[in-house]
Structures are given as structure tokens and as C-alpha cells.
């Protein structure tokens, strides 16, 4: 049986794990090992991206491997403490704002574009007033759009940079965490390999949320349920959303439904983008991408209903998968329906989709009826949101608008963690989306910095909280 030794082992090579490694590698001499169950960045090939549809590869090439789900995302860096997770509850708003600036500069150092959306204050104030009149709350955020193709290049640059300093093990699943008394002592891989380490960082990403839940249950950790986000991906002609996306790129809009007073929100706008699929342990869900240089004629975005369940409900991930499986059962994958057909109480057919004004970018989606999948409460909330949004962006609530289902965001139950994101087991940390404390690239990356700085302090290394360029841990030319 193989045995490795390290000072720190990082489980998961997504943003949280990568930024933990970046900070530790450049500010210390600690020996680091990173492990991910998915393939290396250049070996990640998703057939769904070529238009042939999801084939349920395990693990999902779109979500797992070096870079995590962010590697093939459209790379929206949302530079705001108001969205993207709950990290503020652990470290405070002031520190979170500082870390957001810090990780943004690190992304820039590795080739993220300089262009920033959401800086036109006069226009944004006008849009906020219009949103309020429509019953919506517009949350202004600054967004740096990396683009799917450049996001790959940025993540690969990070991989190349770290490969000279860190041992990286891909396509290697972690089976368990090794604990000696009340302290972490490393991990055991599924193939029997043991990695002895003083510190263990659990950063498995959204695709590893269920794995982390199982692991922490075995360790008898206390957890708290996060809201369950379930909804649809909406596709409209790009000019319909242009008044919003031109200035904001990612309009963050909140609505509280009249029927149920549930929170409904927009998420992951992809101007001139395409709808894609993802697979979570055999369950196919829908998402969206947008490229920096390649454009379609459509814009897509998610409308998600957030539901906070109370005791005795303890399975938010299982509930989300149950809804997604219904869509998979009826369609073999993703259902697409025209809004007009949904209103008329009829399923969309291939003929109706073919003559639709909005041409679907996800050609593998099956025309069908979302009312057989989503509960009435969710459908009513979504329709109300789209009606309100139509007042802000006329044309959204059109019978030709396409709805894809379902979109589910699997966020793990939140662990009981210290302000440094350390569990009750000494030297065992949890970070990122998989730990249920973030839901986006920027806060996930920032959580990795929080963990790294805690380890650095324990080991007696100097920690700088400054986001000034001269204090960044690495000097990487923006050559991409």
C-alpha cells in the first residue's frame, strides 16, 4: 500500500482548493498535496459541450477535475460581499470585502481580463428605480467576465504555476479522513493509499457536496440546512436583456412571490450564450455558459426558487435530486418548453419548438411539459417572477420564451465551523461550495485564502491582509 507524507493535503482542486494552495505555496515552505477525483485540466472532455448531449460520465467532466465546476463555467467573478455565499457570517464584512479585492487581483495576475461591468452608477441607479417599480430588488454588483474559453486558460495557468511547487493527484478519490484523537492526521484514498498530513482541507466543490455530507456524518459533525434552490433556465433573444446585460452583465434580481412569499432570484446570466447540461452522480441538470469571443443570438439565465426547510427535514440535496430525476425520467435528460405552451397547459412538441422564434441552443433537450416535474408552488413563483421581469425587460414574458428544466443548485448542509473555517477536529478545515458556505467563484476562492492564512499563522509564518499588488503572493505576467 502506497504511503505519502505532506504538511497539508487539500481535497478538491476547484477554486477553494486552488487558492488555498496558491497562498500556502508562496508564503511558506510547507509540503502540499492536492487530490481530486476528476481528471487534470487538459484531460477534461465533455461530450455535452459538443452538442451530443450528456452521457452521464462519472465523475462529470464538466464539474470534476482540476479547476472544479469553474473551469468550464463562463467565469463570472462577482465582486460583491452581498452575493455569492455566507462567508461574511464567519469572517465579517470588512475582511470579506478585502479578500474579494485580493483574490480578484490574483485572477488578474493569471490572465483574467481587465474589463469590469457594473461601474455605470447613473445607469444602475435608473435600473434600480425601474426594478422597484416592477416589484423587484436589483442588487448592484461589479462583475468581471472571464469567458468560458479564457476561464480554462486562467485555471490552466494556475495549474502550471502550482505544479512546480505542489504534488497534484488527479483521478484519485478520497475515501476517508484520518483522525487521531481530536486532530486530523491525513486522508485515505479509495485505492488504499494513505497520505499522512498535519492539516487536511476539505474543498470538494458542489459536485462533492453529498460526499462531504456523508463524511461529516461519519465524524458526527453538526450541520445546518442551506436553502434548496430549484427552478428553470430561461432563454430569450439577446436584445431583450440587452438593456440590463450591457451595463450589469449579471443582473442580480430578487422577487418575493405574491402567492407564497417565497424568495425567487435570477442567477447566472449568459448574454449571447448557450444552455448546457451537467451531471451530478447520474442526475442531469441544466446550466448556461457564455464565451468571451463566440456569441449566439440568445441570452439565458436561471430563475431559482429558494426554499428553507425546517426540522425534521435534513436532506436538501436528496430533494433537489428527486426533482431533477423526474425531469430525467420523462425526457431522458432535460425538458424544454415554450412559455406559451406552459400557460396553455400543454406540452411543447418538436414541431412547436422548430417553428419557435427563439431557437434553442441546447439541441439535445426534449420538448415536454414542466408541470409534470415542478410542484405548482415552484411554477407559480417562476411565472410571477417572469411577469415582473417583463416590466423591466419587455419581451421576457413571451409565449416564445424557452424554459429548460430543471436547474438545481446542490449546496451542502453547512458545517459548524470556526471563524477560520476549522471544524471541531483540530487542523481539519472545510472551504468552498461543497462545504455549504459559498456559492460562486469569488467567495469560494476567498474561503481558500481564509483557510491558508489560519494554517500559516499556526505554523508561525507572516500573514499579510493587504490586497496591494506588491503584496500579492506571486508575480505572474498577464500573458493570456
Domains of the chain by start residue, with CATH? 3-119+142-224+413-471 (3.50.50.60), 228-409 (no CATH)
d(CA 400, CA 189): 50
Query: What pLDDT, in 10s, does the model give residues 191-247?
Result: 999 999 999 999 998 788 888 888 888 888 887 777 789 999 999 999 999 999 999
pLDDT at residue 196 in the model: 97
Work out the percent of the chain whose per-residue pLDDT is above 90: 72
Query: What pLDDT, in 10s, does the model give residues 308-317?
Result: 777 666 677 7
Highest mean pLDDT among 94-108, 212-226, 289-303: 94-108
Q: What is the mean pLDDT of the chain?
A: 90
pLDDT at residue 217 in the model: 83
Work out the percent of the chain whose per-residue pLDDT is above 70: 92
β 298-307/228-237 pair status = antiparallel
Contact 401, 343 (CB under 8 A): no
pLDDT tops 50 at residue 376: yes
Residue with the bigger pLDDT between 28 and 471: it is 28
pLDDT at residue 52 in the model: 54
Average pLDDT on 289-306 reads 91
pLDDT tops 70 at residue 176: yes
DSSP 369-402: -GGGTS-HHHHHHHHHHHHHHHHHSTTSS-TT-E
Contact 366, 288 (CB under 8 A): no
Comparing 19-23, 72-76, 359-363, which segment has the lowest mean pLDDT? 72-76
- C-alpha distances out from residue 244 to 141, 207, 247, 273, 392, Å: 12, 31, 6, 15, 9
Q: CA 240 from chain center: how many Å?
A: 25
pLDDT at residue 311 in the model: 66
pLDDT tops 70 at residue 338: yes
pLDDT at residue 235 in the model: 98
Among residues 146, 129, 147, the alpha carbon closest in space to that of 138 is found at: 129
pLDDT at residue 225 in the model: 74
What's the Rg (C-alpha) of the chain? 22
pLDDT at residue 479 in the model: 39
DSSP 416-442: ---TTSB-SSBTEEE-SGGGTSB-SHH
Query: What pLDDT, in 10s, does the model give residues 391-404?
Result: 999 999 999 999 99
pLDDT tops 50 at residue 477: no
pLDDT tops 80 at residue 69: no
pLDDT at residue 314 in the model: 66
| pLDDT-derived band at 124, boundaries 50, 70, 90 | very high
pLDDT at residue 56 in the model: 67
Query: What would the grid cell of residue 163 be?
Result: 505544479
User: Which helix or strand (DSSP H or E) is residue 66 part of?
Assistant: none
DSSP 149-211: HHHHHHHHHHHHHHHTTSEEEES--EEEEEEETTEEEEEEETTS-EEEEEEEEE---GGGHHH
d(CA 202, CA 432): 9
Single pTM value for the model = 0.88
Contact 34, 58 (CB under 8 A): no
| pLDDT-derived band at 96, boundaries 50, 70, 90 | very high
Among residues 409, 408, 447, the alpha carbon closest in space to that of 429 is found at: 447
Average pLDDT on 3-7 reads 95
| pLDDT-derived band at 40, boundaries 50, 70, 90 | confident
Residue with the bigger pLDDT between 368 and 218: it is 368
- Which phi and psi (to 5°) does residue 344 adopt? -80, -5
Residue with the bigger pLDDT between 416 and 366: it is 366
Average pLDDT on 7-12 reads 97
Amino acid at each position: 500500500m502506497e504511503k505519502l507524507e505532506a504538511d497539508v493535503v487539500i481535497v478538491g482542486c476547484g477554486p477553494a482548493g486552488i487558492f488555498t494552495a496558491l497562498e500556502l505555496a508562496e508564503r511558506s515552505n510547507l509540503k502540499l498535496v492536492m487530490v481530486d477525483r476528476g481528471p487534470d485540466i487538459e484531460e477534461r472532455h465533455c461530450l455535452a459541450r459538443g452538442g451530443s448531449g450528456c452521457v452521464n460520465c462519472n465523475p462529470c467532466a464538466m464539474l470534476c477535475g482540476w479547476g472544479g465546476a469553474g473551469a468550464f463555467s463562463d467565469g463570472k467573478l462577482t465582486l460583491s460581499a452581498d452575493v455569492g455565499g455566507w462567508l461574511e457570517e464567519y469572517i465579517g464584512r470588512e475582511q470579506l470585502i478585502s479578500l474579494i479585492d485580493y483574490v480578484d487581483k490574483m485572477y488578474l495576475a493569471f490572465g483574467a481580463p481587465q474589463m469590469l461591468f457594473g461601474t455605470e452608477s447613473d445607469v444602475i441607479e435608473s435600473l434600480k428605480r425601474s426594478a422597484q417599480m416592477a416589484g423587484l430588488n436589483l442588487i448592484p454588483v461589479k462583475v468581471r467576465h472571464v469567458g468560458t474559453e479564457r476561464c480554462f486558460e486562467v485555471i490552466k495557468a494556475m495549474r502550471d504555476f502550482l505544479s512546480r511547487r505542489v504534488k497534484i493527484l488527479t483521478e484519485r478519490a478520497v475515501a476517508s479522513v484520518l483522525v487521531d484523537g481530536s486532530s486530523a492526521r491525513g486522508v485515505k484514498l479509495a485505492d488504499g493509499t494513505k497520505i499522512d498530513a498535519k492539516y487536511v482541507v476539505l474543498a470538494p466543490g458542489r459536485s462533492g457536496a453529498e460526499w462531504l455530507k456523508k463524511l461529516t456524518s461519519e465524524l458526527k459533525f453538526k450541520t445546518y440546512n442551506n436553502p434548496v434552490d430549484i427552478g428553470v433556465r430561461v432563454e430569450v433573444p439577446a436584445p431583450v436583456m440587452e438593456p440590463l446585460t450591457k451595463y450589469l452583465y449579471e443582473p442580480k434580481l430578487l422577487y418575493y412571490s405574491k402567492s407564497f412569499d417565497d424568495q425567487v432570484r435570477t442567477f447566472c446570466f449568459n448574454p449571447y450564450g448557450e444552455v448546457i447540461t451537467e451531471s451530478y452522480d447520474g442526475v442531469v441538470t441544466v446550466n448556461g455558459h457564455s464565451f468571451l469571443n463566440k456569441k449566439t443570438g440568445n441570452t439565458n439565465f436561471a430563475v431559482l426558487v429558494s426554499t428553507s426547510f425546517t426540522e425534521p427535514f435534513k436532506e436538501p440535496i436528496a430533494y433537489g435530486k428527486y426533482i431533477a430525476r423526474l425531469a430525467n425520467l420523462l425526457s431522458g435528460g432535460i425538458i424544454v418548453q415554450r412559455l406559451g405552451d406552459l400557460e396553455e397547459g400543454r406540452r411543447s412538441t418538436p414541431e412547436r419548438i422548430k417553428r419557435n422564434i427563439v431557437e434553442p441552443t441546447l439541441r439535445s433537450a426534449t420538448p415536454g411539459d414542466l408541470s409534470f416535474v415542478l410542484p405548482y408552488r415552484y411554477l407559480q413563483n417562476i411565472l410571477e417572477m417572469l411577469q415582473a421581469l417583463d416590466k423591466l425587460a419587455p419581451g421576457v414574458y413571451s409565449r416564445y420564451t424557452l424554459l429548460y428544466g430543471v436547474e438545481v443548485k446542490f449546496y451542502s448542509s453547512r458545517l459548524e465551523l470556526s471563524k477560520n473555517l476549522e471544524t471541531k477536529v483540530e487542523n481539519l478545515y472545510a472551504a468552498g461550495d461543497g462545504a455549504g458556505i459559498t456559492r460562486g467563484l469569488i467567495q469560494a476562492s476567498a474561503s481558500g485564502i481564509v483557510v491558508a492564512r489560519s494554517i500559516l499563522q499556526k505554523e508561525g509564518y507572516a500573514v499579510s491582509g493587504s490586497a496591494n499588488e506588491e503584496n500579492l503572493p506571486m508575480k505572474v505576467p498577464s500573458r493570456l
